[in-house]
Amino acid sequence: MKLKIPILLYLSITLDSVFAQTCFNGYFEPNSTFDLNRRQVLSSLASNVTTNNGFYSTSIGENPNQLFIIGMCIPGTKPETCSDCIKGSTDGLLRSCPNQTVGYVWPDCCMVRYSNISFSGSLILEPSQPVSDPTPIDVDLKLFDRVWGEVMSRTITASTHGSSSFGHKYFAAEVASLTASKTIYAMMQCTPDVSSGDCELCLKKTVVDYKKCCRGNRGGAFVRPFCFIRWDLYPFAGAFENITLPPRPSPIP
């Protein structure tokens, strides 16, 4: 089925709570069978995700009213935090996507995605959305590019090749010393239904696209239907509590 251009997008520019809701594709009638199926599965998603150790995937109904959905939280998220994040995400989708058959939302520590067609394992890169703090990084950009590029590369490798210390498929968080007073915190995740190659492709493309739009900004994120990157100069989402800070990089001559 050919996807339409996204028709609705809600963004909060506050990076303490990166929040992008994207709604696209076709429409359904309010109070239709599809609408009732969507409300039913969204209403119980938070409890199902927490009950199933932070990841839940299901479908409800029969074609043409069938709905497919996944919900997940990053590893290590406390059950109450995970539940609150999923609940806020489902409530946001119901408000921002009142009658669209496809939607996804990816805040810091959780994600929710639903569709009227099965998307398990599919390589769908669009629609995508960058979120960035436009404040300049106030660091030599040659140094920043080197350190930022290195930590992005390490995080991609850790999340796609199983070297993450979190023991969670397609998730990694890494840190890098930028200056004596600045540290880069980076986090990436893919949904576990895709291949490692597709996850790596998505993350690499997302890093390149983020750099094109937002190089030199002070923190940001980039979300796609099945992968997510986020970085900042402070820890976030509870993802960095057990990570040791590496040495500062040598200065550029």
Give how many domains the chain has, as a whole number.
2
122 lies in a domain?
A: no
Find the CATH number of the domain harbouring 77.
3.30.430.20
24 lies in a domain?
A: yes
239 lies in a domain?
A: no
**Domain housing 181:** 129-232
Q: What is the mean pLDDT of each run of 10 residues along the chain (253 residues)?
A: 36 47 89 96 97 94 95 92 95 93 91 94 90 91 96 95 62 94 95 93 97 94 94 92 64 54
Spatial neighbors of 173 by CB under 8 A, at least 6 apart, are: 155, 164, 166, 185, 186, 187, 188, 239, 240, 243
Q: Is 55 exposed, middle or buried (0-12, 13-18, 19+ CB in 10 A)?
A: middle
Nearest one of 142, 195, 5, 171 to 74, comparing CA atoms: 171
**Is the same domain home to 104 and 153?**
no
**Is the same domain home to 203 and 150?**
yes
217 lies in a domain?
A: yes
What pLDDT, on the 0 to 100 scale, is given for residue 166? 44
Note the pTM of the prediction, 2 decimals.
0.86
**Is the same domain home to 62 and 87?**
yes
Query: Among the three residues 73, 89, 115, which one is the final residue of a domain in this structure?
Result: 115
What pLDDT, on the 0 to 100 scale, is given for residue 44? 97
What pLDDT, on the 0 to 100 scale, is given for residue 168? 64
